[in-house]
Amino acid sequence: MIVLGIETSCDETSVGIIDDNKILVNEIFSQKIHSQFGGVVPELASRAHLQKILLILKDALKNANLTLNDINLVCSTAGPGLIGALIVGYCFGSGLSLAINRHFVPVNHIDGHIYSVFLNNEEIEFPYIALLVSGGNTALYFIEGFYKATLLGTTLDDAAGEAFDKVGKLLGLKYPAGAAIESLAKNGDENYHSFPVAVIQGKYDFSFSGIKTSVLRFIQRNFPDGMSEIDKANISASFQKAVIEALLLKTLSAVNEFKVKHVAIVGGVASNKYLQKKFCDSISTNIKLHVPEPSLCTDNGAMIAFAGLKSFETNYYSKAKITHPFPN
């Protein structure tokens, strides 16, 4: 089945087309306009989606050598995300489905991420633990099948990617800063300073707002006249280590409790090589780690198409809680 997926929940405008779990095309436009503001400006994101969405659909069809007639199913992200941004992709997708007389499947953005590992051409088996780490979400799931996912814990405040972005701002980096922090950290000493990560009551919950304040105070106290490149590298390495250790600790604990043989790390932060190495080094050899390739870690249309296809096949979409961007 040829499935079209549209993703506009935040600052990526993306159209993916898949044939079952094979990606035919995955066009992603990352909006650069926000970098000057240090974070995503919702109104600008909605406008940029509107300007780009039709062009991106045309590019996707051309690059996949398909026409609209070849599409069997249309899916759009319906939430969670920025409401104005979601409305663009939702209305575009539902209108398109009506025009070509195909079913329309609204997709939860998080389902898109947690099943994105199936597009990786790897053997992943249920049940698995999924750690979702992105700019908007940080959560752990126990996944027993398609649309059989149990939320184990979530961040009580900032998402891990958000912490990277906020600390990046303190270091004078542009938004989004995750990849730049990873690259700075390569030249730094991860044991330079021990930044504390809050210990949370909930067994699988996270908290990352405290560490950002701790980095801020550390910089104010020690570098009132500015930081050198090596100071920034040391802070980046120490900060990255603290965040990744917190993610690792809770994920390993879930792997042990649920006795799974597969673990997936998904979302924008999953593309961090230091995180991947730490996880690989820490899990036992009989447990398989799955990380989507970078274009599938970030927000993208192919993952929405795949989650939509599974929702359609299991008939989940007819009883799903998220049916449009304004659920009660």
* 44 touches 11 (CB < 8 A): no
User: 192: Cβ–Cβ under 8 A, 6 or more apart, which residues?
Assistant: 234, 235, 237, 238
* 310 touches 115 (CB < 8 A): yes
| Interface residue list for ligand KG4 (CB under 6 A) | 10, 134-136, 161-162, 164-165, 176-179, 182, 267-269, 271-272, 298-299
Longest dimension (CA), the chain: 63
- Cα–Cα distance between 28 and 298 in angstroms, integer? 9
Q: Which tokens belong to 288? A: 């398989």
- Cα–Cα distance between 139 and 200 in angstroms, integer? 14
89/268 with CB nearer ligand KG4: 268
Q: Which tokens belong to 84? A: 């104005």
Q: Give backbone dihedrals phi and psi of 72, rounded to 5 degrees, phi first.
A: -100, -25
- Cα–Cα distance between 219 and 172 in angstroms, integer? 12
Q: Give backbone dihedrals phi and psi of 290, rounded to 5 degrees, phi first.
A: -120, 125
- Cα–Cα distance between 171 and 187 in angstroms, integer? 15
Burial class (CB in 10 A: 0-12, 13-18, 19+), 244: buried
Place of tokens 């504390």: 196
At residue 323's C-alpha, the angle toward residues 115 and 18, to 5°, is 40
The distance of closest approach from Cβ of residue 294 to ligand KG4 in the complex, given in angstroms and rounded to an integer, is: 8
Burial class (CB in 10 A: 0-12, 13-18, 19+), 194: exposed
- Cα–Cα distance between 294 and 139 in angstroms, integer? 19
Q: Which residues, in sequence order, are bridge partners of residue 133?
A: 138
- Cα–Cα distance between 71 and 271 in angstroms, integer? 30
